Amino acid sequence: MWTEEQWAVIEPKNVSSVVVAAPGSGKTTVMTEHLAQVIATGRIPSQRILAMTFTRQAAEHMRQKLRGHERLHAVDVESCTMGTFHSVFFRALLEADFQVYPLLGQREQYALMREAVVDVLGERRAVSTYELQSYLTLYSRMVGGMEIDKVDHQEKQILESYMRRKRALNRWDHDDILLASLHLFQSPSASKIRLFGMSYILVDEFQDTNQLQWALLTSLVERNGALAFVVGDDDQSIYAFRGASPVFLQRAAEVLPNARRYLLTLNFRSDRRILGHAAQLIRHVKVRVDKPLRSVSEAEGVCMAYEVPDRTAQWRLVAHLLRRAIREGRSAAILGRTRHQLAVAWMALRRAFGAQWDIVAKGVEFRTFHDSKGKEWDIVALLDMAVSPGSTFDIDIDEERRLLYVAMTRARHELYALVPRVMHGAPRRIHPFLLESGMEVCPVNDTLKNDEVRN
């Protein structure tokens, strides 16, 4: 059932493990089985095991898998502590009788940030929801480890106003949980909490860790004299806007005590051409853990970039792909870099399909590149893979490479990158990252596309 490299990770051992896993290699499944084997062998009492994830759904999925494991008893599974970083440390603060405050809901956060923006920029300043989200994200990045000197004066004033308003209301947001948890390590009442009895600490999706989470993990490991097991893929680190960095996974084997690095390189998801072009792209990232990307599938698959005259032609080609996917009973996804791109595509395709749209829409998912992470489909189409002729990137270019890599590796059998030659009335050129991937570019004229749609 397990490959040799998977079993090397799963087998219980007396060292810390840093697992760097390729997309589609079953890293969460391997981590769950490793945890099951540790519990079943009795090497570490289950009540001294802590497993942390980045979403509640991931934590619950792990617990459900363990509950169904043939070697485990229910009492052992329930004795393990599992949850998100925030839930685990919030519970620890409560156990230590640490001063905690009610958490702000999302609407309350937006309202406070709106007041902070108006406080700094003036009453007449219109503030969009997108702008509020941007400031809240900037605040999380600052808390998560971004240097304060990277925030300009006006932004700093807005964030400080937001913090003052929180304090005035005696309220917290999720970032305050982790900040308070750092102080917990120096608290004299902390010795009685369950967290400080943990001797084995596991973290999934470790590439999403920020500076604050890294500090909490390493402090906990050192304080407890614990072993750690972390798993992730630095090539899929795509949340820099939240403060996450692949550096922590890359450094983990050097920093965690008595640690050994393992690689999971076999991909059980994608056909060979898709993985070949994805691997060619990701090799352009400057700093990464070098690892092969090997396909279990013997099928070649399809991986193509199609140049189309404009976005109208793009929708026609997408409509053709969706009709074929439905006819063949295959799953399909339309992926875009932004939500706006997806909204435009959804409206255009709804018009194209007319009365059939309700049926078609049930067979396709619209996702941003970020939101596609952790998912997979038989057929994937990447929208608007074109840039202005003279454009340059003013963002973390490797972050964007990793983001496209994530989107590409969601496809099982067919991947299509769509390149409109004209967008918003202006000429465009193929996205340079597609060229780096070595993907074949095929011009498609209107006559061919119309024939395809009719077929």
Confidence of residue 340 (pLDDT cuts 50, 70, 90): very high
Looking at domain 4-97+176-267, its CATH architecture is 3-Layer(aba) Sandwich (3.40)
Q: Do domains 4-97+176-267 and 272-443 have the same CATH topology?
A: yes
Note the pLDDT tens digit of each residue in 212-222.
899 999 999 99
The mean pLDDT value of the chain amounts to 91
Whole-number pLDDT of residue 242: 78
Note the pLDDT tens digit of each residue in 25-84.
999 999 999 999 999 999 899 999 999 999 999 999 999 999 999 999 999 999 999 999
Whole-number pLDDT of residue 137: 85
Q: How far, rounded to the nearest angstrom, does the alpha carbon of residue 281 sit from its chain's CA centroid?
A: 18
Residues making up the binding site for ATP: 21-28
Radius of gyration of the chain (CA): 24
- pTM across the whole model: 0.91
Report the C-alpha gap between 159 and 140 in whole angstroms: 10
| Structure tokens given for 291 | 């690892």
Residues making up the binding site: 21-28
Q: From 86, 110, 112, 83, select the one nearest 100 (Cα to Cα).
A: 86
Q: Are 191 and 98 in contact (CB under 8 A)?
A: no
Whole-number pLDDT of residue 51: 97
Whole-number pLDDT of residue 124: 65
Note the pLDDT tens digit of each residue in 135-171.
888 888 887 765 556 778 898 899 999 999 999 999 9
Report the C-alpha gap between 388 and 343 in whole angstroms: 21
Whole-number pLDDT of residue 432: 93
Residue-range domain boundaries for the chain: 4-97+176-267, 106-171, 272-443
Bridge partner residues of 368 (DSSP): 336
Note the pLDDT tens digit of each residue in 94-129.
988 889 999 999 999 999 999 999 999 887 667 888
Whole-number pLDDT of residue 434: 95
Burial string for 27-61 (b: 16+ CB within 10 Å, else e) reads bbebbbbbbbbbbbeeebebbbbbbbbbeeebbee
Confidence of residue 449 (pLDDT cuts 50, 70, 90): very low
CATH of 272-443 given 3.40.50.2300, 3.40.50.300, 1.10.150.530, 3.40.630.30? 3.40.50.300
